[in-house]
Structure 1
Amino acid sequence: TITRETVKKINYIAFKVQDFGVGIPKNKMKEIFEPFNQGNIIDNSKLKGTGLGLTISKTYSELLGGYIHVKSKEGLGSTFTSYILQDYYREKGKSEEYKIVEIPQISPFPQKGKILIIDDDINFLDLIDRRLSKEGYLVFTANNGKSGLNKANKLVPDIIILDIVMPDMDGWTVYKKLKRTPLLAQIPVIIVTIGDYEKMAKDFGVVDFLAKPIKWKTLNVILSKYKIIGKSKHILVIDDDSATRIILRKMLVKDGWRVDEAENGKVALDRIKKEKPELILLDLLMPVMDGFKFLKVIKGKDSLIDIPIIVITSKDLTADDYSYLTANVDRVIQKGDYTRKEIINRIDVAVKESNLKMYLKGS
């Protein structure tokens, strides 16, 4: 349950969120506010969040001059109260000068797509990150080959910028592993490195090579030839009812989505092997492989676990169904219980949240 009340004595507004779940042990109270930490309260295999929710909530409360208070008993549930100061910037008898702070905006869809940069030079990573971010790309970085491959599998970026001279795993090894992975093989790779490796790059089949120090104009020319604007707006609709797929397709195409379809979970997994979607709309009641079995497969793969999923179903959900879906999908919508505007808004929010999580985890 969620309640709001004004606490006049201390000039705060209190927002309370109460649940009747497993509760939190006293020795875990501080840990739950740490980034990417879920306190190991229950079996983490059933807990599919990122561990960022409470961290973000605490930060917002503090930015608004408040704080978060927790009451919890093991086995009985928890109450989280966010206290926000009503007159945070106002003091009697004083005029205030307000500092304007620019807050970075993470749009639902990067204007020019997602770029992963793999380089062991921290200064270069910072420089190119700032430059490309200003130009509308959503930028992720990795400072070694192993980390780069892990992020490539999770993010499936539109373009990869790769250094050659790195310790432990050099760029050529990374490049070969990328090209041997079906989900990543078609991603354009731009080699940006120190040294005369251009001939070797051509022998490896690399099309684009830049020697450091790079010329930004040349890099922009290379990036612009890969028409990735809008490429990320790819959605997969999984439903055995062709009429439902047609209706959803019409809605989504009008909003600029590129729509792929599958009549069951098994076919959907084959589609995903070819191209990872930005979001999935999922029915639950299907032959061959239903929505629950599909979710189990998806959530068991590190490279796919972060795909936002919205369930659209006609199934009468049990308490166990709701519990499972709450832990594993972004939204649950009953068929026929939505307008075009509502579903587009929910999709945009889910993708925006997903990009924010990726940005916080991957940058």
Structure 2
Amino acid sequence: MPNTVLILEDSKTQALIIAGLFEKNGFKADFSHTRDDALHKLGTRGYALLVLDVFIGEENTLDHLDLYRSAAGDTPLAIMTAGRRDMPLAGSQALNKARRAHVDFLLPKPFDLNDIHQICAEAERIRRRKGPTKRILVIDDDAYTRIIYRSYLEEEGFYVAESTSVEDALVRLEITRVDAILIDLIMPGVGGMTGIKVIAATWPNVPIIAMTGYAQNPENLEKAISRGAVTALTKPFTKEVLVSELKRALSDDRIVEI
């Protein structure tokens, strides 16, 4: 079922509404209302996307992610949640837990057709790559720079996501699971220097490579490393340098804590 999404949602009304959004994006929808039924379906057929609500009755889906991953194989996985009134912090904590567990996409409720469109487009992009690959997030406000780095990395087989700022990276639904992050130090808004600390808290144990074009201020590079970057590169740098540093950062054994 290559164009079908499996939705785990205990509310039948909510499941139908969500299915309608996916159907408007060209996907068929299949439903499960319990963990056992969802695992059974995953074991008997293939899906283009698996969408899991965090709270199914009294159960937290995130506690059983390993079961879903094992049953779903390489199928991209999205987590959706609206939180719980009796647990005010549960929603945000669930989203952070999902991010740290390398879930592919986040869908905080309420979401709309445009949000689903982003998820569908990225799920299709992942499917076309046919198999797992390292995902690199490039955060830089300069479009030309992002194009160049994306070209370098995709030529080496990496999956690349882009953001224009730290703020943008944190709200984009399709940027959730990343294996390494390249971040420019001089950007509008939060900026890269403060952004390194924000990113390190959001994606613990994911290597961060800082970049800057201001070579005349070496203190910036040292400060970036002291704040959590594994290395810092001075622009412009060659494809060989970027790929070498990235592979070195990815080669370190890192334990993901949930």
Q: Structure 2-normalised TM-score? A: 0.48
Larger radius of gyration: 1
Structure ranking higher in helix proportion: 2
